[in-house]
Amino acid sequence: MSSRALFVVVCGAPLASRLSDGVRVVREWGWTPYVIPTDAAMPWLVEQDLGDVPVIVGNRKPHEPRRTPAADAVVVVPATFHTLNAWATGNAYSYPLTTLCAALGAGTPTVAVPYVSRELTGHPAWASSLAVLGRAGVRVLDPGSGSVASVEPLQPGTGSHVVVGFRWEWVLKQLELRE
Ligand SMILES: Cc1cc2nc3c(=O)[nH]c(=O)nc-3n(C[C@H](O)[C@H](O)[C@H](O)COP(=O)(O)O)c2cc1C
């Protein structure tokens, strides 16, 4: 059980502040976490104690060995507007995006938790990106309710409430349902 590798991609939005809770829960559920942050996520990571969890930053150099085993599953928490749209269009210009695009191509079980304001989700790219990812098998989970039936935009003034109420167990449960 404990050898199951879970890649935890983290983007630059306030829900990234719950990452330390996430790696604890991930381990409790029998996964081995590998954290893969975007550059924009880094300010949220420096404030947290992740213990001995590997944090994989940027691309490895051509002659360096691989830094992780193959992923048994991938989660992206939070998924920003930027990363979710880039992922859906096959944009792989950063290590986190390459990781996400490869997971989609390989059919690796993947859960995405968008954390995006109402203004941004009104952009026409948003709905089509969600549709692309959903058709490809990604489970897209609402950060406020844990539902995978529909993802609601963050309402103004509710962000801190959503961050506190978010439960990493919702994400892990979706992975168990996939197995
Ligand atoms: C304080 C702060 C809060 C942010 N909150 C969000 C957010 O809730 N959702 C979002 O999609 N982007 C948010 N952004 C913008 C993203 O960080 C920005 O679009 C960044 O380019 C995303 O890069 P990434 O997708 O590679 O992490 C926030 C930025 C800052 C500085």
- Percent of the chain at pLDDT exceeding 90: 89
Q: Would the pLDDT of 179 be above 70?
A: no
- Position 158 scores a pLDDT of 87
Q: Would the pLDDT of 126 be above 80?
A: yes
| CB-count burial class (<10 Å; 0-12, 13-18, 19+) for 4 | middle
Nearest of 167, 108, 163 to residue 139 by alpha carbon: 108
- Amino acid of residue 61: K
Number of CB atoms found within 10 A of residue 114's CB: 29
- Position 38 scores a pLDDT of 98
Q: How confident is the model at residue 153 (pLDDT cuts 50, 70, 90)?
A: confident
- Position 178 scores a pLDDT of 65
Supply the range of the domain harboring residue 40.
4-59+68-178
Q: Which residues does 137 contact at the CB level (< 8 Å), separation at least 6? A: 104, 107, 109, 110
- Which CATH number goes with the domain that contains 25? 3.40.50.1950
Q: Would the pLDDT of 1 be above 80?
A: no
CA torsion angle for 110, 70, 178, 19 (degrees, to 10)? -50
Q: Would the pLDDT of 160 be above 60?
A: yes
In a 3-state reduction of DSSP, which class is residue 113?
A: strand
Q: Where does ligand 1 bind, in terms of residues with CB under 6 Å?
A: 11-14, 38, 40-41, 80-83, 115-117, 120
| Protein residue with its CA nearest to atom 26 in ligand 1 | 38
Task: Compute, in angstroms, the gap from residue 48 CA to the centroid of ligand 1.
Answer: 18
* Distance (Å, whole) CA 133 – CA 65: 30
pLDDT tens per residue, range 62-119: 999 999 999 999 999 999 999 999 999 999 999 999 999 999 999 999 999 999 999 9
Q: Which atom of ligand 1 is nearest to the CA of 37?
A: 27
pLDDT tens per residue, range 11-32: 999 999 999 999 999 999 999 9
Count of domains observed in the chain: 1
Mean pLDDT of the chain: 95
Ligand 1 pocket mutation pick from 80, 84, 118, 119 by most atoms within 8 angstroms of CB: 80
Q: Which atom of ligand 1 is nearest to the CA of 154?
A: 8
- Position 47 scores a pLDDT of 86
* Distance (Å, whole) CA 146 – CA 89: 25
* Distance (Å, whole) CA 66 – CA 90: 22
- Amino acid of residue 136: A
